[in-house]
Chains A and B, each alone.
Chain A
């Protein structure tokens, strides 16, 4: 930590990541410097990757029509093929081949977890991304450890793409 008097009369203390500048009779100024997370650049890359001409077959299961429509619109704009369903039962009634499922946790009837369990029991290993409207899955949820990514609404497109990528690669890992 170093302390110095600045030319304008202020006293400044500087450590690695924060700065305090005090000016007699004028109050103090506090600055904090944080490391920029590397996530952004990764997801930019991911988005760039997702817009490549290698389209995915995606399925969205959400009971909220607005969210469902918006996700279909976005993912199609990104170049993917999207099928949407309003409930787990509706999806199960017409199962479609998908590279990844994007499933709302809170659904009428079977919820997101239950849908996943049933798929796994039937031997399906389709990657899944959970989306949820009330602040993320509960901490004692075992699926977090099972490597199923979850996103709290509202979420950024970068986070969605990153989650899909993670889910795909996790499944890929397991398959190997």
Chain B
């Protein structure tokens, strides 16, 4: 849909063309109905004018019955004396009390909504347009503005047509002299300017605007056309977009130096009556600029006086939204006021200038916004592709096309399946489907092997319209590599921590292995002795061998766990039962805790949803916390010691808490207890808690330390429940 300014311009052109094709009043009315139908898509409309007795009479109509016209003729919300007439909109006639008596007529005529658009000439209502709808109609402001534009042109043409009629009847159409009345507005002068030439000129201006000609060119043409129709010279001053300064729009008949002097002056009365008109927003008629020396310094006046001009009439130029855009001034060689027709000419010129300036400003705003968009695009390193919903490249914006998988001319108009690996095209397809269905941005992350190098990408997919998508692709290789490096370092540190734990625990681990080995050897030797006995105790023999097998497996499990802890593997994410992990840690530390006299008790949640994580790393976290609890209690009497391991399920998280009855954390260390090398232990690097935190964070969880109310400290880890689980 074109911008409102363009639409208005188009409507003006349409009216101007339609009216330009006719000279008589009936032609004008029909042109008006034709334009209404064409521009507002209204099939039923009418034109009514006040007759000599001030009664509203139908002049032209479409789609109205005789009965209807007879029933409503004469009705008017306005009288010929009405001022400031505004359109009256009736979205639903049955809800409009003032029209109640016409309701049966409307019903018979199937009229449900209607609008009264006043035809105003020089501030007076001369008639109206009626628009009729057979369904309730919500009028929008643009629609009414367009109707008003048409109304203004038609009112003008009606007045012109009436003047032509008068002139024809008096037999003095062309060549008559204007009868000027000094110091006042002349009336009843002949319409010298209402020539074909002016009509043609007006269309020329509109068409020049429509072709996008520079504003100065349009305004200069307008000034020339008006100057051709009058005895004076004209200028257009513009109000700068800053709302303060005055710019010269066009003053082709004035010396350049004067234009230069006035350009950039702040708005105010001193910029001549032209500037004053702008300043007060009203037409200013200065009948004698030499005598009226009370007005302040006036650059243009100096210039005007220098070339023999005496009177200045100016009128503000307003946008269709009544915004002040500038002023249009005519300087005349005799000290007098404008005639009725000259004033109308001035207003018409100001109106046309308004269209030109408004159009120019909206085009300029559009251009600037496009330029801004282009600047933004230039600044964005991302690649953008406009894609059809079935994956065809429609458009692109890429700063460095050489980095793409294929040159743009090769992929435009083709399907992504020709360029992307099929798994990736499948991923994109699914993302497109979701983006189209939900209207939410979709995120896709993937990596591709390019030139023997793995590169990482992140694509954001948003719906552009019903079947097109905007796909913004960002190369995130650097960030991804940094993340992977950090993860590798974390794994390295975590591994180091596990090796250290195992080194510290070697005694306990030897014990864990020596128990099953002792049981195996003893059972095997018992079995050999049993073989020598007579009679054979087969049941006891079998029990001995069963125990050999059982204990061998038990030793194997210990070795397997050790190997897991010592293994330098990348994290393997899988659903993990934290209760199970806790029990494994207790098995592993059982004898060490026994030796160190650290009684441990557990309170595990009976039902526990899995968390998504790496089993070994989560074991390590609990192991670190348990060993930390032991260290905190080493100076405490054995009878006073206790470690409590608790698991709790709460609000999408599984919490595992390790509480001790130890010395607690000094207040000044509470904040830094997870920082590296913060320790009050004699041995160890103080990395255990740091590594535990990094592991928990990598699992999208959090860890916190607090002192217990009575004694000791509690460390709590919160790990998110794996998706799809409650």
Q: Interface on A for B, CB 8 Å cutoff?
A: 63-64, 66-67, 69-71, 73-74, 76-78, 106-108, 131, 133-135, 152-157
Contacts and interface: CB of A to CB of B under 8 A. Distances in A.
Interface string B490-534: 000000000000000001101100111111111101100110010
A154 B521 contact: yes
Given A67-B515, A73-B544, A154-B521, 16 more contacts: A64-B515, A64-B519, A66-B519, A66-B547, A66-B551, A66-B554, A73-B540, A74-B522, A76-B526, A106-B511, A133-B511, A134-B508, A134-B511, A154-B514, A156-B521, A157-B525
Instruction: Give the one of B510, B522, B595 with max A CB within 10 A.
Output: B522
Nearest to B531: A77
Contacts of A156: 521, 525
A108 B533 contact: no
B601 to A, nearest CB: 13
Contacts, number: 86
Contacts of B511: 106, 133-134
B526 A73 contact: yes
Contact of B517 (A77, A108, A131, A154): A154
Nearest to B548: A70
13 contacts: A66-B554, A69-B519, A70-B519, A70-B547, A70-B551, A73-B523, A73-B543, A73-B547, A106-B511, A133-B511, A134-B514, A135-B507, A135-B510
Contacts of A154: 514, 517-518, 520-522
B424 to A, nearest CB: 55
Contacts of B591: 106, 133-134
A70 B510 contact: no
A77 B536 CA distance: 11
B525 A134 contact: no
B502 to A, nearest CB: 14
Contacts of B72: none
**B interface majority secondary structure:** helix
Contacts of B547: 66, 69-70, 73
A77 B515 contact: no
Nearest to A73: B526
Contacts of B551: 66, 70
7 shortest interchain CB distances as A-B pairs: A153-B518, A77-B529, A74-B526, A70-B522, A133-B511, A66-B519, A154-B518
Interface in B87-145: none
B542 to A, nearest CB: 11
B515 A133 contact: yes
B523 A74 contact: yes
Contacts of B380: none
B523 A153 contact: no
B40 interface: no
B554 A74 contact: no
B517 A153 contact: yes
A64 B533 CA distance: 27
Contacts of B516: 66
B404 to A, nearest CB: 63
A70 B518 contact: yes
B594 interface: yes
A147 B268 CA distance: 119
A66 B529 contact: no
B513 to A, nearest CB: 8
A71 B522 contact: yes
Interface in B534-553: 540, 543-544, 547, 550-551
A67 B548 CA distance: 11
Instruction: Give the one of A67, A76, A131 with max B CB within 10 A.
Output: A67
Contact of B518 (A63, A76, A108, A155): A155
B526 A70 contact: yes
Contact of B522 (A63, A73, A108): A73
B519 A67 contact: yes
Given A64-B519, A74-B523, A77-B526, A108 B514 contact: no
B41 to A, nearest CB: 94
A134 B522 contact: no
Contacts of B594: 63, 106-108
Contacts of B519: 64, 66-67, 69-70
A157 B514 contact: no
Contact of B521 (A76, A108, A134, A155): A155
A135 B519 CA distance: 16
Nearest to A47: B529
A84 to B, nearest CB: 12
A155 B516 CA distance: 12
Nearest to B593: A108
A69 B523 CA distance: 9
A133 B517 CA distance: 10
B216 to A, nearest CB: 99
A162 to B, nearest CB: 14
Contacts of A73: 522-523, 526, 530, 540, 543-544, 547
A155 B519 CA distance: 9
A135 B515 CA distance: 11
B521 A66 contact: no
A152 B511 CA distance: 10
Contacts of B515: 64, 66-67, 133, 153
A156 B525 CA distance: 8
A78 B543 CA distance: 16
